[in-house]
Structure 1
Amino acid sequence: MRVLLLGGTAEARALADRLVAAGVDVTTSLAGRVTDPRLPSGAVRIGGFGGIDGLRAALAEYDAVVDATHPFATTMSANAASACSAAGRPLLRLERPGWATRAGPLWHWADTHQQAAELAARLGRRPVLTIGRQQLAAYLPALHDVSVLARVVELPSIGVPPGWTVITDRGPYALPGELALLREHRADVVVSKDSGGQYTWPKMQAAAQLGLPVVVVRRPARPAGVATVHDVEPVLAWIAELHTGTGKI
């Protein structure tokens, strides 16, 4: 049983650990956008496939695909759905639940990053952006002249205004550190994607404790017709069912 795991998330690393321990032949694919990624157990490939056609060709080497990419990695998920359909390979989506059911009274939802930037500009003058480096450009027009603190894993390739501060850090985070960060910056609004999970949830707790408004970018729509589970155990059962028909690896 050869499994291609589209990774880059904590859930993907946890799944790779379990599959390797069970003796499953798994290869994790990472997009290569981070210079020093956290590597999972098992074989790893880094870099894109060259679109749908490239991924479809690569699937000749695998029996099944698990898409455990970030909830906002829409292009990869769409390509996986199309390529697996064309190649006749089973596909399962592993995605952490979002935060919608945990929303606080000071949360403001946005459908796009541009909308989130405009909301943040109306809500405060010292925003903290925790939306990743690839989307920072969408915030420049609305927040160009305010004191922004942007936290990213790696420095952005774009230039930022002189009033912005960019720091590099990588979760998981803890509440005391998040409180200290917001207090030190004198933050008056926090901007986040609806990433879900526990790794970055403490910033939401910190914002609530300090009474700060939070702007949350909604998750994009996922490809239709792809079965989705929210933790590792159902994935293991799915792979076992494909491999042995017993539900046990």
Structure 2
Amino acid sequence: MKVLLLGGTGEARELAGQLADFEVVSSLAGRTRELRLPDGEVRVGGFGGASGLAQWLTENQVDAVVDATHPFAATMTEHAVAATRAVGVPLLVLRRPGWGAGPGDDWHWVESADQAASLLPMLGRRVFLTIGRQGLDAFAGTGLWTLARCVDPPEPTPAWCTLLLDRGPYVVDAELELFREHHIDVLVTKDSGGPQTAAKLTAARELHVPVVLIRRPPAPNGVAIVESVAAAANWLRSY
């Protein structure tokens, strides 16, 4: 069975490692400079939209597609849905669960980066921005001191914020130190889910810092969706 694994996440790398008995091709967008490569065959780069992906699936005789991209990679998911439907290849979407507020959390949900930027002046003056390098421009006009953490530097480099280039996983003690060092009084993040970057939420709770969370795009309709690597592996082996 030949599987195209749309990856770039920790779950995708873990799934690729569990599918030694399949012919797996992991596809990475290539936007991150230092790629973490999974086991097995890897291709890097786009397909040329849904039509290009459909052609690639046909030419490479793919039996199934697993979309294990980031929960906010909505365009890639849309292309995967359209392409697999066009050529009649089954599609599974692997999405880690989103985060949920607990006792002591002060969370404020928004639909977009623009909404988050509009809300910030009512919540704090020193911002920790952890949404990645895409969408930073929405916060350029807030007038608030901002620490923006990214894996790769934005281009062009923004002059309105302090950049911190770092990659998870993160631990609570280090996040607490970061909050205190920079006197952070409001956190902005995406509802990415998963444990690798959740330590900042624990730090915000312990320090009574409000959190602005950008909701993830809705899951596609009419496709199989699972929340764990084990469930994805079981789905593939059921064919």
TM-score, length-normalised on structure 1?
0.92
Determine the C-alpha separation between the residues in 2 that align with 1:71 and 1:102: 21
The percentage of counterpart residues that share the same residue type is 51
Determine the C-alpha separation between the residues in 2 that align with 1:121 and 1:178: 23
Deviation at 1:101, TM superposition (A): 5.5
Q: 2:57 aligns with which of 59, 75, 91?
A: 59
Question: In the alignment, which residue of structure 1 is the partner of 2:197?
Answer: 200
Matched, 1:91 2:88: no
Superposition pairs for residues 172-211 of structure 1, below 5 Å?
172-211=169-208
Deviation at 1:104, TM superposition (A): 5.2
Determine the C-alpha separation between the residues in 2 that align with 1:94 and 1:103: 28
Question: In the alignment, which residue of structure 1 is the partner of 2:212?
Answer: 215
Determine the C-alpha separation between the residues in 1 that align with 2:152 and 2:144: 22
* Runs of 4+ residues over 2 Å off in structure 1: 100-105
Q: Which protein has the bigger helix share? A: 1
Deviation at 1:184, TM superposition (A): 0.7
Q: Which moved more, 1:56-65 or 1:96-105?
A: 96-105
CA contact 1:110–1:116 (8 Å) conserved in 2:
yes
Q: Deviations over 1:74-101 (max 9, x none)?
A: 0000000000000100000101000135
TM-score, length-normalised on structure 2?
0.96
Deviation at 1:9, TM superposition (A): 0.6
Counterpart residue type for residue 178 of structure 1 = E
Gaps of 5+ in 2: none
Determine the C-alpha separation between the residues in 2 that align with 1:165 and 1:71: 26
- Please tell me the root mean square deviation across aligned C-alpha atoms, in Å: 1.2
Question: In the alignment, which residue of structure 1 is the partner of 2:33?
Answer: 35
CA contact 2:101–2:107 (8 Å) conserved in 1:
no
Superposition pairs for residues 1-249 of structure 1, below 5 Å?
1-20=1-20, 23-60=21-58, 61=60, 62-100=62-100, 102=102, 105-141=105-141, 143=142, 145-162=143-160, 164-242=161-239
Q: Describe the SS at the equivalent of 1:236.
A: helix
Gaps of 5+ in 1: 243-249
